[in-house]
Amino acid sequence: MRWNRRWPEKKPRPKARPLSKVQRDVILSKLLNGIESSPVLTALNIRARALRGLFYIEQLWQDGSRDELEAVVIGRLTPLVAPKGRLLLEAEKSNGNWYEVKTGFAKSLIDHVANDTKGTFHGLGTLNKSLASGGNQRLPIKIDKEFNFTYESTGETCSAQEALYHFFGVPIPVIAEPSGWYMYHRTPWITEVSDDLRSVLVRFASNTIYGTIFRGTCLYTNMHDNKWGAYPIRPNQSENQ
């Protein structure tokens, strides 16, 4: 027996608008300014560039085997015919498979990338906002016995990323290292802290209709050379998770 299935029609891709050199340069300038004004995007070595009528948001990585920087595309923007002046922001789900994130003007879209909290681009949006409002300075934070973190000045609760940066002093690129956990929109929370505050265990979980499901762990450790490192641990790699 065959079921008469009607698959939903694929949404047609919005029509791209060709740009003059002046229009392209104006948009690119707004993207670059947005990156420069973002503490997180600057620390993560994010750049924007125009290529073949599109705009690409890339992260530059240091290749350990070579003295070269490798560019990894984390998003792209397409100028649209309609609405006029808008761009389509997309992220890559798999190789060559892009999906729509948001449409808008260049400034609002790069701000959306900078303040991303889901993990689509980096997941450090709460930290970006706190740094932008605090003048890029580390802010005083209190910790209780249950590892809840709050700002001393306001009493507001901190995200795990904010606590890692402001309280423990973990650099932004190190906080972002478990990119795989962030990419799948997993929420981090701090579960253990060493007495000397040099080791922090962070768990990542996904919220589903069946409840919260634990998906991974990252151990942040301040080594003897006073440098923080991040060590992601998959659930099947430890019996104690």
Residue predicted with more confidence, 239 or 34: 34
As a whole number, the mean pLDDT across the chain is 88
Flag whether pLDDT at 194 surpasses 80: yes
Task: Give me the amino acid identity at 70.
Answer: E
- The three-state secondary structure class of 47 is strand
Percentage, residues of the chain above pLDDT 70: 88
Distance from first CA to last CA of the chain, Å, rounded? 47
Q: What is the pTM of this model?
A: 0.86
27-36, 134-143, 171-180: lowest mean pLDDT where?
134-143
Flag whether pLDDT at 210 surpasses 90: no
pLDDT for 3? 54
Distance CA 183, CA 121 (A): 7
Distance CA 176, CA 163 (A): 13
Percentage, residues of the chain above pLDDT 90: 66
The tens digit of pLDDT for each residue in 219-238 reads: 999 987 889 999 998 765 54
- 82 — pLDDT class (breaks 50, 70, 90): confident
The tens digit of pLDDT for each residue in 144-159 reads: 999 999 999 999 999 9
> Is the four-CA dihedral 193, 197, 201, 203 of positive or negative sign?
positive
Flag whether pLDDT at 189 surpasses 80: yes
- 183 — pLDDT class (breaks 50, 70, 90): confident
Q: Provide the residue ranges of all domains of the chain, joining segments of one domain with +.
A: 21-114, 131-237
Q: Which helix (H) or strand (E) covers residue 206, if one does? A: strand 199-208
pLDDT for 212? 60
